[in-house]
Structure 1
Amino acid sequence: MKGDKHTGVSQFLLLGLSNDSELQPFLFGLFLSMYLVVVGNLLIILAVSSDSHLHKPMYSFLSNLSFVDICFTSTTVPKMLMNILAHNKDITYTECLTQAYFLMIFVGMHNFLLTVMDYNHFVAICHPLKYMIIMTPCLCVLLVLRSWIIIFCFFLLHILLLIQLTFSIVTEIPHFFCELTLLIKVATFDTLFNVNIILLYVSSILFIVFPITGILFSYSQIISSIVRMSSSASRYKAFSTCGSHFCAVSLLYGTALGVYLSLAVTHSSHESSVTSVMYTVVMLMVNPVIYSLRKKDVKGALRSFLTKAASGP
């Protein structure tokens, strides 16, 4: 089919997870349930905001992470649910690019926040006496704010290059959302195709490789500091401080790595869309349990908030 550059009226088709009509009600119920669980992160944000004892760097970063998880899931799942209800797979060109843009933003911000949270643990365990001097409220705000600005601007460049590519009149995307790599893959090859590929590699290094490297380095220092502690009580406190974060990071990157390694062997687009659910939705469901519900102070704040909400003004 001849490729024509999109002007906002062309059509994209999200092929989704399955073409089986009998399976659609099950998928709708499953994803709706998972989405509601992720949106439950809003309760954590409200609980942390309402409790002055939790106005600390770690919980500030946790609130931002919960917000990013909600936004990430809200960018993909509602459109999928709407398409299932309407029995169609359409998504407009503008909607597709907008979805891809915000997906990149929230994925990048998720990785940055994990790195910042890891740095917070590194300072708390390796330099406890300097913690209050280093992790000031001003620094915490600047770390998050600068991350948002950098990510917004960098991925805007991605989109500006992406709109220069050409696509077929009806472009099929073998996924349930518009992913940047798939959009580049289904585009018609032209002179700007290689530029998009190069920028994709650069973004992977900046927003995946660098954060992972920083996290691994920090944890090597953290583990070294914990081993040198003479008191078992101090070691237990240090492990409890960073254990949840280490568990979440290991599950996220471990799952993503396992998915991409398996896809490198199978090269199946259908398996790509199915397995990506693990780290796009399922992992975001696990985060509140790992980060918040295992911490007594967060559970206490959540109970207090729900009690006040139930009793009314």
Structure 2
Amino acid sequence: MNSSVSVFVLTGLGIKDDFQMILFLSILLSYIITLAANLFIMIIPIFYSNLQTPMYFFLYNLAFLDICYSSAVVPKMLMDLMSQKKMISFWGCMLQLHCFHFFGSTEVVLFSAMSYDRYVAIVHPLRYSTIMNYNVCCSLALCSWVIGFSHASIHSIMTARLPFCGPYVVKHFFCDIKPMLYLACTDVSLNFKVLNRVTGTLAITTLMLTLLSYVFISKFLIKIKTSQGRRKALSTCSAHFTVVTLQYGTAIFTYMRPSTKDSLDQDRSAAIMFSVITPALNPIIYTLRNNDTRTAIKKLFSIRHE
């Protein structure tokens, strides 16, 4: 593996000094919301047995992933906003790259598992607890983590083995694959092919599986005659579909379009959505769109005020 470079310099967000404090406070607030809201989703099922269901088991995994995903990037970003020297060690850079894609790709696979869970809950409600038993849920979650780790390992190992001849300036606010490949002093066409094909295959496959579940759900909803029954069924999956749209939209924009040096600024903007905004929005979307969670929140606050 490459050992000729010990430190990389990050260009950061490219924001003028006048706006750095405002941006720092905005990102810090989003990160605090990410930690607090996702921890809340992880903790609340402990106190309410009606939330100890397969859906909340997957939400627990998603909340944990969002915390890890955001923490792989945001703390370093906040430090760099307040620092003149935005440096990161070679192995720190590789670890950040690996973690970002590990947690991100695990999340998109988990979305497919969650969409299948919603399909079973809506189309086969009487057999839901039998089909989505403990072993099935654990297997689907474990599969998501294994696929995510394997996908990230391919990219991190291939990137770590590249020779970097300088200048060691990463045109990004964290170590992502594309800006790292542009620093290599060798042919990286294979790396870009792997990025487009492997990441593209993972994204398209999981997206198609997710959409397929919603196609079957839609067909079933057409058969529901009462509007109340249709609204109840829609409420169980509308939040999930909103989150999926946000995540896949930015992922496809970043990693599946042609790679050029000029596109790095656009990738940087998309990465802010990935690492800062989406992890903070996910728990808010789920709590606001889910009746059981809203009820649990109201009970929790009513107990505290008594």
TM-score, structure 1 as length reference: 0.87
Look up the match of 1:234.
Answer: 229
Change (3 A) 1:206 1:51: farther
Alignment-derived partner of residue 216 in structure 1? 211
Distance 2:118 2:290 in 1: 15
Partner of 1:29 in structure 2? 25
Q: Distance in 2 between matches of 1:50 and 1:167?
A: 52
Aligned to 2:125: 128
* Counterpart residue identity of residue 132, structure 1: S
Contact 2:196 2:256 in 1 (8 A): no
The number of residues matched between the two structures is 305
C-alpha displacement of 1:264 = 7.7
Instruction: Output the CA distance in 2 between the equivalents of 1:174 and 1:263.
Output: 17
What is the correspondence of 1:34-49 to structure 2 with a 5 Å cutoff?
Answer: 34-40=30-36, 41-49=38-46
Work out the CA distance in 2 between the residues paired with 1:174 and 1:163.
Answer: 17
Residues 1:152 and 2:149 are matched in the alignment: yes
Q: CA deviation at 1:22?
A: 2.3
State the alpha-carbon separation in 1 of the partners of residues 301 and 184 from structure 2.
49
Work out the CA distance in 2 between the residues paired with 1:148 and 1:123: 22
Partner of 1:86: 83
1:144-166 CA-to-partner distances (Å, cap 9, x unmatched) read: 11221232234223222222111
Give me the TM-score of the superposition, normalised by structure 2: 0.89
Q: How does 1:278-293 map to 2 (within 5 A)?
A: 278-293=273-288
Secondary structure (helix, strand or coil) at the match of 2:182 reads: helix
User: How big is each residue's C-alpha offset from its partner over 1:220-274, in whole Å with a ceiling of 9 and x where there is no partner?
Assistant: 1111110122232221211111111112222333355567799989934334313
Root-mean-square deviation over aligned CA pairs: 2.7
Q: Which among 51, 56, 62 is matched to residue 53 of structure 2?
A: 56
Letter in 2 for 1:112: V
Gaps (5+ residues) in structure 1? none
Q: Does 1:116 align with 2:113?
A: yes
Q: Tell me, yes or no, if structure 1 residue 17 matches structure 2 residue 13.
A: yes
Give the aligned partner of residue 184 of structure 2.
187
CA drift of 1:116 comes to: 0.8
What amino acid maps onto 1:218 in structure 2? S
Q: Which moved further from structure 2: 137-146 or 155-164? A: 155-164
Q: How does 1:263-282 map to 2 (within 5 A)?
A: 267-282=262-277
The match for 2:69 among 63, 72, 77 is 72
Matched, 1:167 2:164: yes
